[in-house]
């Protein structure tokens, strides 16, 4: 009669075979995670650089806050005295900061002017430190993805050696069993 220990062995063997089967995909996932991390990091550093080097500070009025709380629309004064609209993403800010914003509030905005003075990048001037600190939050998901794929590759690295040929693998087996 099968025992619990035998069933546990079957489950562990299945899990081991599953990890071995997906280890080639994990190598691809690790490379994608590294590329995504470099892209996220570079995009965020470029945003900060544009805001700090080319940014202009002005006062604007909040016109609309999205239902999901992930963005808002701000009216800013244009260079010719007209009113221009800007789109501000709220993913950079803490929950307390987002909760403190309301439609009609006057806020100080740092923005990078684009074509026809249309604001490209916007940030709340009082909370620019939160935008600077967002870098680690942006990379958290990518780092988790890279770490999970790295662990699977470390558990089953056999796929890494497929291109070496059988002679190399036999030689490595002899070295490892000494």
Q: What is the pLDDT of residue 85?
A: 87
Output the CA–CA distances (angstroms, integers) from residue 144 to 90, 97, 112, 120, in the order listed: 23, 27, 33, 31
Cα 169 from Cα 176, distance rounded (Å): 10
Contacts of 136 (CB under 8 A, 6+ apart): none
Give the model's pLDDT for residue 1.
Answer: 56
User: What does the alpha-carbon distance between residue 24 and residue 162 come to, in Å, rounded to a whole number?
Assistant: 11
CA separation for the pair 107, 126 (Å, rounded): 9
Per-residue confidence (pLDDT) for residue 32, from 0 to 100: 93
pLDDT in the model for residue 30: 92
pLDDT of residue 147: 92
Average pLDDT per block of 10 residues along the chain, 178 residues long: 82 88 89 91 88 90 85 85 86 88 91 77 89 78 90 83 70 73
Indicate yes or no: pTM above 0.75: no
Query: What domains appear along the chain, each with residue ranges and CATH number?
Result: 45-157 (2.40.50.140)
Q: What is the pLDDT of residue 165?
A: 67
Task: Please count the other Cβ atoms lying within 10 Å of the Cβ belonging to residue 81.
Answer: 6
* Cβ atoms of 62 and 73 closer than 8 Å: yes
Where residue 46 falls (left for φ over 0; alpha for ψ -120 to 50; beta otherwise) is alpha
**What pLDDT score was predicted for residue 151?**
92
């Amino acid at each position: 009669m099968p025992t619990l220990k035998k069933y546990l062995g079957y489950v562990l063997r299945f899990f081991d075979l599953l990890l071995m089967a997906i280890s080639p995909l994990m190598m691809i996932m690790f490379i994608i995670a590294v590329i995504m991390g470099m892209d996220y990091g570079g995009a965020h550093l470029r945003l900060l650089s544009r805001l700090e080097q080319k940014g202009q500070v002005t006062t604007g009025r909040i016109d609309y806050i999205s239902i999901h709380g992930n963005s808002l629309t701000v009216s800013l004064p244009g260079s010719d005295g007209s009113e221009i609209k800007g789109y501000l993403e709220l993913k950079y800010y803490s929950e307390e900061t987002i909760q403190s914003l309301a439609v009609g509030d006057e806020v100080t905005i740092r923005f990078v002017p684009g074509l026809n003075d249309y604001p490209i990048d916007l940030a709340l001037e009082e909370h620019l430190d939160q935008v600077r600190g967002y870098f680690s939050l942006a990379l958290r998901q990518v780092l988790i993805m890279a770490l999970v794929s790295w662990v699977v590759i470390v558990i089953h690295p056999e796929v890494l050696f497929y291109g070496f040929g059988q002679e190399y693998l036999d030689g490595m087996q002899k070295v490892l069993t000494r």
